[in-house]
Amino acid sequence: MTASILLPPALPLFLGAALLTIARGRLRAAVMLLAPLVALAMVWLVPDTNAGITGFLGYDLIIVRGDRLSRWFGTVFAIMAFAGGLFALNQESRLEAVAAQVYAGGALGVVFAGDLLTTFVFWEIMALASTVVVWSAGGASRAAGFRYLLIHLLGGVLLMIGSAGEAQATGSLAFNVMAPDTAARWLILAGFLINAGAPPLSAWIPDAYPQSSYSGMVVLSAFTTKTAVYVLLRGFPGAEVLIWVGLYMVFYGIVYAILENDMRRILAYSIVNQVGFMVAGIGIGTELALNGAASHAFAHIVYKALLLMSAGSVLYMTGKSKCTELGGLFRSMPLTAISGIVGALAISAFPLTSGFVTKSMISDAAGQERLMLVWFLLAAGSAGVFLHAGIKFPWFVFFQRDSGLRPSDPPVNMRAAMLLFSFLCILLGVAPGVLYRWLPFGASYEPYTADHVVTQLQLLLFSGLAFFMLLGLLRRTPTVTLDFDWLYRRAGVALASGVTRAAHVAWRNFAAGMRGMVDEILSGISILARRGILARAQDSGTMAMVAVAMLAVYLVVEFVR
Amino acid sequence: MSSLHPFTVRTALILCVVCFVILALTVIAEFFIYRHGQFGIDESFCFNAWYGFVACVALVAVSRLIGLVLKRPDTYYDR
């Protein structure tokens, strides 16, 4: 067993998390901000190489694999960990700060892992740490966090079984491009897709994330689903099934977000919607589509975190999260409102924002591949994004009617985090070259053609027209919408308690029957014992006759044999 | 809406007019650019405008239908 030395970029975050268990005051703030920056520097110092342990239980483990794709995701994860820490500086929960850094470290570990076992280990670290992030909000988050954990443990088990099968079939744990052509690889794919929020198990995102604290959901939105996008990019580019899974996610997210009332649940559904675009791009599988998926993941992490910082600020200042209880907040929370609008414009892919220079790569790739249906559905999905997140979130929270609430903008660290990410959303949109220079795959792209700008503006602005014309139909109601999680939150529970009750009754009847039978036998024996033929006293002559008769039977039997 | 200050109503009206002007501008702009599509129909005049509009109307309609069946009070899972 030999090991080559290259420190994994996740290390400063794990060390930071350990420090955060005891650090207080300025030291705590310093660790929350510096650990991600050190990690960012280490991401960029990772050379194009594989480093790890050879001959561990007969397999080669690659703890750090450096290439453009891993550095791409590593960069945005480190930036996200920094901004998430900045936003959460005034978060009182010590547990959440620790868990958030472990979680970010796990995500960095996954994107630099070069084999399936290392991937699995960091994958599970993320599952556990993110559950703690959810739990640290207390209250109703306990149950939701537990459901969240169960789903992710299921995903982990599928990944583990698949990896074991892959290792047995190929003799190697290396994690490279594979096609879903064996049962083991399908299991790996299923494990990855569970973390992406793919159907039928998408409900864990809107179920668990909005139960976390105002700052917890900001970091939760970034890592789990985007590491899933990363591993799909790494392992299954061009797997056609992903196109359809992705498109389902796009429309699932839109429909459920349209029906939703809670602002953070709206944004949770919109995570599924956005990851759907990326998954579809991975399924298309050309270099342009893969670049689109990777860069959209980058842009998405930033604007989705920004949207959730804006929503988190509203929650922090008002304690409310439901559209039916909010409205008109732009008067007293101008910076939060503007940040929310910048994030909303970016997620809708308006020109001059980050979404514009990333998402269109995916639909253009569909066009180039002559995938007509896919192209039309992606265009309809883009229109729907503006509808369900781009206008709906800022409109119902910051405008709409006057709710009478007059909260001020949040504390300075939260404002700084929002300004930073607003700036990034616009910087990437205005100067896409900053991003394109480092694209992980070969294809190049030019977003700012007159054709593209005008058609995109038409698509979005007329979607906006539809929103305001249909405003009556979009009025918020204090409702939730049932999803597949009904199966394990209601039907499964009903079935389990029904089975338990039936088993209980059956057992009671069985036990009563058995007891009756035993009683009968015992009473029979006692009758025999007291009055039966064997219980009577016999005289010795009779006994001798019996013995002679038995001897005779024995002799006859022996003779016949 | 009668409780709103007239200024707000006037502002809203101005905003509406501005929005419609912008919508018209995006349509007019199409005369001055070279349109390049992949499938024919997407090169037709104002394709993105009507397609975006129709897509949103359809999405809202479908959502309402699904909502009829699947919506529950938000205390549903608390019971």
Whether A183 has a pLDDT exceeding 50, the answer reads yes
Q: How confident is the model at residue A543 (pLDDT cuts 50, 70, 90)?
A: confident
**Boundaries of domain holding B64:** 6-72
Q: Which residues of A, range 51-110, sit inside 8 Å of B by Cβ? A: none
Using alpha carbons only, what angle is made at residue A108 by residues A103 and A111, rounded to the nearest 5 degrees?
A: 130
Residues 6+ apart with CB under 8 A from A167: A59, A116, A173
Chain segment A59-101, per-residue pLDDT in tens: 888 999 999 999 999 999 999 999 999 999 999 889 999 999 9
Please give the backbone phi and psi of residue A447, each rounded to the nearest 5 degrees, phi first. Answer: -80, -30
Considering only CB atoms, which chain B residues are within 8 Å of A474? 60
Beta strands (DSSP E) in chain B are 71-73
Beta strands (DSSP E) in A30-110 are 50-56, 59-65
Angstrom distance (rounded) from CA A387 to CA A400: 15
Nearest CA in chain B to A387: B56
With respect to residue B79, please indicate whether it lies within any of the assigned structural domains: no
Distances (CA, A) of A146 to A30, A152, A190, A485: 32, 10, 21, 13
Distances (CA, A) of A67 to A64, A70, A244, A512: 10, 6, 29, 69
Q: Do B55 and A384 touch (CB under 8 A)?
A: yes
Let me know: does B38 contact A368? Beta carbons within 8 Å: yes
Whether A531 has a pLDDT exceeding 70, the answer reads no
Considering only CB atoms, which chain B residues are within 8 Å of A466? 52-53, 56-57, 60
Q: How far is CA A84 from the centre of its chain?
A: 17
Considering only CB atoms, which chain B residues are within 8 Å of A259? 63, 66-67, 70-71
Chain segment A462-480, per-residue pLDDT in tens: 999 999 899 888 888 888 8
Q: How many helices (H) and strands (E) does chain B have?
A: 2, 1
Residue A107 confidence (pLDDT): 97
Chain segment A126-149, per-residue pLDDT in tens: 999 999 999 999 888 999 999 999
CB atoms closer than 10 angstroms to residue A437: 7
Q: Do B55 and A380 touch (CB under 8 A)?
A: yes
With respect to residue B37, please indicate whether it lies within any of the assigned structural domains: yes
Residue A211 confidence (pLDDT): 94
Please report, as a single letter, which amino acid is at residue A189.
Answer: L
More confident residue, A98 or A535: A98
- Share of residues in chain A with pLDDT > 90 (%): 77
Let me know: does A361 contact A296? Beta carbons within 8 Å: yes
More confident residue, A53 or A120: A120
Considering only CB atoms, which chain B residues are within 8 Å of A258? 59-60, 63
Residue B1 confidence (pLDDT): 42
Tokens of A181: 């052509």
The pLDDT of A163-171, averaged and rounded, is: 93
Nearest to A470 among B34, B50, B60 (CB): B60
Let me know: does A327 contact A401? Beta carbons within 8 Å: yes
Q: Do A466 and B38 touch (CB under 8 A)?
A: no
Nearest to A457 among B26, B58, B73 (CB): B26
Q: Looking at A121-125, A181-185, B34-38, which range is the least confident one?
A: B34-38
Q: Which of A258, A284, A403, A462 to mutate to test the interface with B (most CBs of B within 10 A)?
A: A462
Residue A415 confidence (pLDDT): 96
Q: What is the per-residue burial (b if ≥16 Cβ within 10 Å, else e) of A546-557?
A: eeeeeeeeeeee
Residue A1 confidence (pLDDT): 46
- Share of residues in chain A with pLDDT > 70 (%): 98
Chain segment A205-223, per-residue pLDDT in tens: 999 999 999 999 999 999 9
Task: Provide the domain count of chain B.
Answer: 1
Q: Do A479 and B62 touch (CB under 8 A)?
A: no
Nearest CA in chain A to B74: A479
Q: How many angstroms separate the CA of residue A186 from the nearest CA in chain B?
A: 31
Domain residue ranges in chain A: 1-236, 237-484, 488-534
| Strand partners for A59 | A56
Q: Is A370 on the interface with B (CB under 8 A)?
A: yes
Nearest CA in chain A to B55: A380
- CB-based burial label for A11 (10 Å; 0-12, 13-18, 19+): middle
Beta strands (DSSP E) in B8-77 are 71-73
The pLDDT of B69-73, averaged and rounded, is: 90
Q: Looking at A306-310, B4-8, B24-28, which range is the least confident one?
A: B4-8
Considering only CB atoms, which chain A residues are within 8 Å of B62? 255
What one-character-per-residue DSSP string does A280-330 give? HHHHH-SHHHHHHHHHHHHHHHHHHHHHHHHHHHHHHHHS--BGGG---TT
Global ipTM: 0.88
